[in-house]
Amino acid sequence: MMTNTAPFLKKGALVAAGVFFLAACTGDGSAQSESSPELNTCRELLGREGVDAARRAVGGGEVRAEAPVSARKLADTMAGEARVRAADGEDLDRRSYEPCRLSGSTADTRVVTRAKWSVLTMDSVSEGKLAVQWREAAKDVYVHETDGGDRVALLVTCQVPEAPASQREGVPLEVEVSRAGAADGDARLPARLALSLAGNLRGLLGCTDTVTVPTALPGQG
């Protein structure tokens, strides 16, 4: 079966609710292999322990991983978007990606990840009106929790090589992890997955600024 890479094309891409996403499937209803490209992509972004915890959260039985392309392709695409800003001075085409989704046996049991270049700036969440919604998790790392902690967004700086210096704080990296219908009641899971996603994606993007993304939010240990 051919792999559709439409989520990474500027034109002619399939768009659902403003998010670029491609579901992975075996096509014949068979169980997904533990070494499938989709699971490996999720592990590269969330860590093996993170994926195991997310799978338990959505039921622990037959869990399907979905991913658009490899983590490397995602990072290369996003880095290219940041460099376009350096080339022509125009604002970024701020597309949102779903790099990994883990679904349980029912459609409403899932863990979903998202990543994009944010429309927010570091100043807007540290000093502006949004400072009441976002709190500092670490230096250059801000967090916003909604839905009782089942949806966690992180804003973190990332200076992309060959992008203008203003990109670091003016166009930070934003990631989000949400869960629904989870059987595992660990309230810390979305935050821990979001922190793993932010740290691993920063590494894949080759961010040149030094940021220590914590493994847990303050007070969660």
Q: How is the chain split into domains, by residue range?
A: 34-205
Per-residue pLDDT of 191-209, as tens digits, reads: 999 999 999 999 999 999 9
Share above pLDDT 90 across residues of the chain, in percent, rounded to a whole number: 57
Q: Per-residue pLDDT for 214 more than 80?
A: yes
Q: Per-residue pLDDT for 22 more than 90?
A: no
Residue 90's pLDDT is what?
54
Residue ranges of E strands in the chain: 19-20, 64-66, 96-97, 101-103, 110-117, 135-138, 141-146, 151-156, 173-180
- Rounded Cα distance between 216 and 174, Å, is 17
pLDDT winner (highest mean) among 62-66, 134-138, 181-185: 134-138
What single string gives the DSSP state of each residue in 190-221?
HHHHHHHHHHHHHHHHT--S-----SS-TTT-
Contact 207, 175 (CB under 8 A): no
pTM of the model: 0.83
SS3 of 5-18: the string is: CHHHCCCCCCCECC
Per-residue pLDDT of 68-117, as tens digits, reads: 999 999 999 999 988 876 444 555 557 899 999 999 877 788 999 999 99
Residue 98's pLDDT is what?
97
